Every structure is written in structure tokens, then in C-alpha cells.
Amino acid sequence: MYDELWTAVKAMYKLDPVVGEGGEVIIYAPHLKEVSYTHGKYIYEVGYHVLEYFLEQWDKYRHVPLGVLAHSTCVRGDGYYENVQEHARVKVTLSSQISVEDCRLLSLGYLNPDEVNIQE
């Protein structure tokens, strides 16, 4: 029902608390083509990461608007950053018209929406 990922990721905000450790949230939005009309440039620059990822590298990301960083961390949910390695509690997978390459760039999983059997 949303036309950009910026608002569609409410799925993760709402489901994160009930998904078990190591679980996965699939955002199924086969119509979705845009990450964000307003903030896309920054989101593509930083991707989606846990909070500690940004805090441990603050000098690298301090120029990014805080609203974008907050959005990024809400999408990735809880986790930690240790020894230059990010560990998210939940995997976030996007099933939309956003390409597999863009999903990788954004640190999201990808699922081809044409291969999803919504009845299952």
C-alpha cells in the first residue's frame, strides 16, 4: 500500500519485537520501486545497519541527517557491531521491484516477488 520503502518498512518496525533471534522479516511489496523519494541519496550511501554500526564509525557518518540514520537502524532492528562485523538479530528481506544488486548495496536480503506464492 506504500509507494516507497521509507514508509513500507513499517513492517519491520512492527514485527521486530515478535520475531525470534535469527528470524526473518520479508517485506513483500511487488509494486514498490523506490527506496525514498526524499532521502534515497543518503540511504543508498549508508544502507541499513544496526545502531552500533554507525556509532562505532561516527566520523564517517556524522554528515548524514539523523532522521536517515534513525530510519536505517529501525529497519535493521537490534544487533551489535564487533570486530568490524555487523550482527543483526533479524534478517530483513525485500521482495519488490528494487533489484537484487540494490538490496545487496543496502544490506538487505532479496526475494524475487514473482517467485513468491502468497498462499503459502
Domains of the chain from N-terminus onward:
5-18+25-115 (3.90.226.30)
Nearest Cα neighbor of 35 from 63, 9, 70, 15 is 9
Query: 24-60, pLDDT tens digit by residue?
Result: 999 999 999 999 999 999 999 999 999 999 999 999 9
Please, what's the largest Cα pairwise distance for the chain? 46
Measured distance CA(14)–CA(3) in Å, rounded: 18
Judged against a pLDDT cut of 80, whether residue 1 lies above it is answered with no
Query: 59-112, pLDDT tens digit by residue?
Result: 999 999 999 999 999 999 899 999 999 999 999 999 999 999 999 999 999 999
Q: Which residues of 73-101 are buried (b: 16+ CB within 10 A; e: fewer)?
A: bebbbebebeeeebebbbebebbbebeee
